[in-house]
Amino acid sequence: MMLLLIAAAVQAATPAKTVPGDTTKAPATLGPIGKQAMPARGCAAYLWSTGDRTLVAMATADSARLRLAVDGKPVDYARVDEAGPGGYGFAGVTTYRGGDLTVALDMTIVTREDLASGAMVPNATLRLERPGRDTIVLPVAGMIGCV
């Protein structure tokens, strides 16, 4: 009897194997954007995934763009709306759009005395919406740098 209980516990603790075509896991839609330069002028928010610390987004205040790598392709999306208090040329919530993708960036901006020409973004989310697909919400954090 004890052997059956141990076998059942080991089986429950063993992760399920993923098989090709398995639809139980969400697709990795948002990928790394790689190293990004500072803008020529103004401010940029650099945002990392809180899970694996991968740089997944860069928003620029002056050009009003958001760079993401959706489905492995880096693309800049134009700002279409903004609301709420923010700082450094950014709103608290900014919406970007391109093609059939709508992205909402909701971020908290915190000024620190030990940072010259920038601020911290301790809490933020990226919400990706496409017609006919699941909405993806990714927690991110990062920094704002200004030229």
Q: Which residue has the tokens 């997944």?
A: 56
Extended beta strands in 84-117, E state: 93-98, 101-110
What are the pLDDT tens digits along the chain (147 aa)? 433 333 333 343 434 444 444 443 344 578 999 999 999 999 999 999 998 899 999 999 999 999 999 888 899 999 999 999 899 999 999 999 999 999 999 999 999 999 889 999 999 999 999 999 989 999 999 999 999
Give whole-number Cα distances, 136 to 90, 122, 126, 139, in Å. 22, 20, 8, 10
Give whole-number Cα distances, 105 to 7, 25, 71, 124, in Å. 47, 24, 18, 7
Stated pTM of the model: 0.78
